[in-house]
Structure 1
Amino acid sequence: MQVTELDLDGPDGAVLSFGPATAGGPAVRAGDVYALVRLRGRPVATVVCRVPPGKAPADAVAAAAHAALVGREMPAPAPSGDPGRASVVVATRERADQLARALDSLLDQDHPDFEIVVVDNAPVTSATRDLVEHKYGERVRYVREPVPGLAIAHNRGIAVADGAVIAFTDDDVVADPHWLTALTAPFAADPGLGCATGLILPARLRTPAQILLESHGGFAKGFEARLYDPARPPADEPLFPFTAGSFGSGANMAFRATALRDIGGFDPATGTGTPARGGDDLYAFVSVLAAGHRLRYTPDALVWHHHRETWQDLRNQAYGYGAGLTAYLTALLVRRPALLPALLRKVPRGLAHARTITAHREAAGAAVPGEHGAQDYPWPRQLSRLERRGMLAGPFGYAKARRRVRGVPLPWDRRGEK
């Protein structure tokens, strides 16, 4: 399936181009298309359609886009203001090729004042250091963190970052040129904002595993901006703030630096690279809200994510999601006991909600054009079982990870170490 972008306001009408994974490649051709729709430059929708042979691809996708937008209210302008100095932290481990693609897109940002910090986590080769020093030089800062774990690597980035806002993304994304400006501008407009998250779309949809994941929601949280305020809990989320997965994802998030340091950064016993398998971003979201700060989801801040390609990747991801969910809840119980009463009241409903989601995935397929036309992609029961097994294992994984990192201090006092 071709991933494309459709600009409805092109100089000569609708303009269709390939997405970031194949930028500069051949023209969009007949076949199945997944398109991001932009209006006045802003992401407003995604559409999936088939371009018939002999029909202009831009016309076919534009027709699908107009049909999808009928009756839809266009989003209000995003909050704006001087974003100030920003830092972008990218944690990585032995994926220099992917990292180079991400760094190229980050260096192309339209933000007026920012730095990029690469944290090389528990490296076994010099590939990442060589890439940063030889290709990017002083444009990218290199920092080595010997202790494995995504949260630990992120904390290392926090320690050396000098921006008033610290953004985080992954080494397997391509950032839209306006990403950093859109993600950081809300902090200037709202002094009470502690965190912002953004839109994550697929960079490629080439394999059944990638299509299956995206057909069931992927990482996207929609095209409607939303503000989460602990002083005014949302009526439609009775589990707030413990439904942290609805706020955004770690591949596209930013924090006010003072707020993030005040909560102690990320829990080092969570995240990829630890027995907890995940939950580092969820823990930070809830901790910032619990400290009284607001959180904003802004779809104008877009990154394209390279989904994992194989069935085994998807199996690992399903298990990791379940483990990360209960690991982050365990972390809250251990590290923020003041949240215990509210958490205990809401956790049973939260776990029931998670089971309902997986059951719904199993029962209802998601229609996505496939190689031979429209197909349904039901969520395999095997993946739901793996997710539930992960949920059972999460607390034990967190306990094991916590023992491993016991005595590892927050790196705030290691500023400047290389």
Structure 2
Amino acid sequence: MPGSLPSQESIQPPPPPPPRDPSPGISPPSRIPPALGSAPSPSPQGPVQDAAPPHPAAGCQPPGIPPLMLGGGGGDPPTAAARIHSRQDPTDLLPGAHRCQMRLRGAMRLVRFRGAGGGEPRLGVEAAEGSVVDLSEAEPALPRSARAFLESGHRGLAAAQRALESGRHRVPRESVRLLAPVGDPQKVICVGLNYRDHCLEQGVKIPKEPIIFNKFPSAIIGPFDDIVHPQESNEVDWEVELAAVIGKKGRHIEESAALDHVVGFMVANDISARDWQSRNGRQWLLGKTFDTFCPLGPALVTKEAVADVHNLSIRCSINGRVMQDSSTNQLIFPLPKLIAWVSRFVTLVPGDILLTGTPPGVGAFQKPPVFLKRGDEVQCEIEELGVICNKVV
């Protein structure tokens, strides 16, 4: 029988540093520790990809200033957790920023949000002091859809930069609810077995070419929305992933030009029903695309804001216990190879989302296996991008 994650009622803090052993039970702390990229708590739910959960996760509430250090100690080498939370520059203490390489023009954290009064989704940019620039107010001519905004190319990004630099049209962060940064992509493309350490975990050979599958866009939810545990599955699992967002249309893209087609990056969680991955002719689609199975956010961080996308700490915690802890330097097929490969078969268009694979530590390969249950809190974070946190209901 698979192991289970303890209920929120049986909360016990884990011993520091967070253990990595694949024990069947995971004892959560009293609350998930503060982390970068958090957002205000959601409000009542409407449509799946743009709505808050009916019961917001208490542990996924927005924290304040993140801790200076988490994990690692003494003479031990820093873990991915320590790298994510270690901040030396005071500007690093801004929620979600992690320096963000803002010295480069074009470096922005683009968001979609709803204001306190609800209404239609709006586009925004995170400002350094923690507020959100309302792009829909600052630049009324801009599209309200993230996909249409990205289709506008340099014109839209330049307008967002102007609005950010103007110092106007600021909305207090605590008064907005973040949505998925891109809620209406044409395609959500995923890659399997793309971390060396994940292949070692399973005892499988390194793939010779990317393994491609997909999710339907209807699986997308926001960075703090609830994951709905489907009645049809008993083996719901987590997968923290780096997501790249296409900003420029292309087909048969050369590796040398591939990153020119990327506008930026997000944190993603490729929630998966393992029992359905092995059913239905062993095609993965149904197990990957239940409603709410693709949390994204907290922001679309433009590539100018990321020092080296192939050297970022990446981790996932369940009820505060670190389960996945690796680096994007473990990618077998880096982004240029993935984009060149996928574009051999399909035309990539602005707004398309590419999930790049997950590191080791998923529930299916714990001994015994451990799967998500209602009440669990799943926190995914990537260095320089931020944190998403979703409760299972």
Q: Same fold (TM over 0.5)?
A: no
TM-score bucket of the superposed structures, by smaller chain? under 0.3
More helix by share: 1
TM-score after normalising by structure 2: 0.25
TM-score after normalising by structure 1: 0.24
Larger Rg: 1
Higher relative contact order (CA 8 A, sep 6+): 2
